Chain A
Amino acid sequence: MNQSKPPESGYRSRMRTSTKRLFRWHGWWAAATLLMCFGPGFLWHRALGLTLLAVGLDVAVGVGMILATKKFIMELDELQRKIFLNALGIAVGVGLIVGVPWTVMDAYHVIHSHALHANFGLLVVLQGLTFLATLLYGTWRYR
């Protein structure tokens, strides 16, 4: 029986670094989005130049976040990548099959309740929750 330890590849430490980088970029993007949403009203009284600057900053940080997410996905191992991409695919699909009919119904005044009017923010929340639920299910399924 060979009890010597196998060689180590450092997958766990690499994933720790990658996950921290992903959270950092998501945090920066959330901060930039908050600044873009509330800055014009509360900080610079709708000054156009500053608002455009905030939008530019949000887009730039968003691009960084996308690249960090891409790098994170590429560094996942094959099973975790499968689980992550499955969750991502289902979240995008749910966003489409809910979002498009919702917008069409709103455009043709099928929806009368003010609370149910097409709302992009709600759609993003729905996609986020779908992604989270599918990711948890995938992790549980292959546990």
Chain B
Amino acid sequence: MKNRLKVLRAERDWTQAQLADALDVSRQTINAIETGKFDPSLPLAFRAARLFGLRIEEIFHDQDSAGCKNSDRVAD
């Protein structure tokens, strides 16, 4: 799963530690999510969406569905 967490954080000039504190997780977890090593649970994704004032799908993207759309586009 891909996400825009790093971009959204950078736009607000927040550090990983600040974002981690706001989302009630460790800095390591934020780093692992940003680098795509760990997919967050639904409650954590909702907390992130609430914090940034966005919908979940505006932050997190399913790689497979993105791949499908791309291949559909190629087929068209």
Contacts and interface: CB of A to CB of B under 8 A. Distances in A.
Contact of B21 (A1, A4, A9, A79): A9
Interface of B: 11-14, 18-26, 28-29, 31-32, 37-38, 40-41, 44, 51
Q: Helix, strand, loop or mixed for chain B's interface?
A: helix
Interface of A: 1-12, 15, 77-80, 82, 139, 141-143
Contacts of A9: 21-24
Given A77-B26, A78-B41, A143-B31, A11 B12 contact: no
Nearest to A76: B26
B29 to A, nearest CB: 4
Q: Helix, strand, loop or mixed for chain A's interface?
A: loop
A142 B32 contact: yes
A79 B30 CA distance: 9
12 contacts: A1-B11, A1-B12, A1-B13, A6-B14, A8-B21, A9-B21, A77-B24, A77-B26, A77-B29, A79-B28, A142-B28, A143-B32
A142 B21 contact: no
B29 A78 contact: yes
